[in-house]
């Protein structure tokens, strides 16, 4: 989706964000805890991440407004596209953290369940590097309880990481999927960093359920936000 030259710019800005977080002592290289994460070997591995890359970099702000990017998003969501959040993930070489199989809906549920993800790659993502793995068609399962956290889940035991389909990608590629889709990733066992930015968006006719504390940009990337009002717009 993004040209080689454009992708190089985005990778440069990605690296600059990581350097700034390192310099300020704000670099989050934490772990996802829990029984299922431990079972998948994630207890001693690391991941670097931060929310809302568009707040750091104008180039990344431009990227999520890219016409081709939004044309494809519109074909899925319709003409009104609202940004919920973005998130940088840098999976370290050799022991980059895996993600257990899960659905995203429980982290930031939307009333009409229109939420979708777009994963922008600024580095290669091979299976050895811990690329995204999915169960195709699993979005049709709908909301399945206890499929977002790390607590034991008999349902998810039926969907091991090993059985999921690897979605390998090249720099500039973007992978789109609904937030009901069962997905995860293995360790990065390669000698290269895996660099991606996750973009979560929903329809302008949808809104996030009350009481959710996840970062919420509420930014209209295209069209109109039909569910916003003065109070919501002024909320911190």
What is the domain-level CATH number for residue 155?
2.60.120.620
> Residue 204 above 90 pLDDT?
yes
Q: Is 232 inside any structural domain?
A: no
Q: Residue range 187-206: average pLDDT?
A: 97
Give me the mean pLDDT over the 198-219 stretch.
95
State yes or no: pLDDT of 47 exceeds 80: yes
Q: Are 153 and 36 in contact (CB under 8 A)?
A: yes
* For residue 148, pLDDT beyond 90: no
Is residue 118 pLDDT above 90, yes or no? yes
Residue 235 placed within a domain: no
Say if residues 233 and 218 touch (Cβ distance below 8 Å): yes
pLDDT at 111: 98
In which order are the strands placed within the sheet that holds 99-102? 99-102, 183-185, 132-134, 165-166
Domain count, the chain: 1
Q: Does residue 107 fall inside a structural domain? A: yes
pLDDT category of residue 211 using cuts at 50, 70 and 90: confident
Alpha-carbon span 52 to 1, nearest angstrom: 21
Predicted local confidence at residue 45, as pLDDT? 65
pLDDT band, very low/low/confident/very high, at 153 (cuts 50, 70, 90): confident
More confident residue, 139 or 149: 139
Report yes or no on 83 lying in a domain: yes
Asked whether the predicted pLDDT for residue 175 surpasses 70, the reply is: yes
What's residue 213's pLDDT?
84
For 16-38, write each residue's pLDDT tens digit. 999 999 898 776 665 556 666 66
> Is residue 140 pLDDT above 90, yes or no?
yes
Q: What is the pTM of this model?
A: 0.93
| 228 in a structural domain | no
Q: Compute the mean pLDDT over every residue in the chain, rounded to the nearest whole number.
A: 92
In a domain, 234, yes or no: no
**How far apart are the C-alpha atoms of 71 and 60, rounded to whole Å?**
17
Asked if the structure places residue 229 within a domain, the reply is no
- The predicted structure's pLDDT at residue 38: 60
The token pair at 29 is 């290289």
Max mean pLDDT range (87-96, 120-129, 210-219): 120-129
Q: Which residue has the higher pLDDT, 173 or 146?
A: 173
Asked if residue 122 lies in contact with residue 14, where contact means CB atoms within 8 angstroms, the answer is yes
Maximum C-alpha span of the chain: 49
Of 14 and 149, more confident: 14
* Within a domain: 142: yes
Expressed as residue numbers, the domain containing 168 is: 4-223
For 130, the token pair is 């811990």
């Amino acid at each position: 989706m993004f040209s080689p030259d454009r992708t190089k710019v985005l990778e440069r800005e990605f690296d600059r964000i990581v350097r700034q977080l390192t310099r300020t002592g704000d670099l989050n290289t934490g772990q996802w805890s829990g029984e299922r994460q431990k079972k998948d070997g994630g207890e001693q591995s690391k991941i670097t991440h931060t929310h809302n890359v568009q707040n750091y970099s104008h180039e990344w702000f431009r990227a999520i407004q890219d016409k081709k990017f939004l044309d494809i998003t519109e074909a899925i969501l319709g003409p009104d596209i609202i940004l919920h959040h973005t998130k940088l993930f840098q999976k370290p070489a050799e022991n980059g953290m895996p993600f257990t199989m899960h659905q995203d809906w429980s982290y930031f549920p939307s009333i009409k369940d229109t939420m979708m993800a777009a994963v922008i790659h600024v580095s290669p993502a091979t299976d050895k590097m811990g690329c995204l793995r999915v169960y195709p068609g699993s979005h049709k399962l709908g909301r399945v309880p206890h499929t977002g956290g790390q607590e034991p889940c008999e349902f998810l035991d039926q969907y091991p990481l090993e059985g999921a389909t690897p979605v390998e990608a090249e720099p500039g590629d973007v992978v789109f999927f609904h937030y009901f889709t069962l997905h995860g990733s293995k360790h990065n066992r390669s000698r290269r960093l895996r660099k991606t930015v996750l973009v979560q968006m929903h329809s302008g006719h949808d809104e996030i359920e009350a009481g959710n504390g996840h970062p919420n940009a509420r930014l209209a990337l295209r069209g109109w936000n039909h569910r916003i009002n003065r109070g919501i717009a002024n909320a911190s």
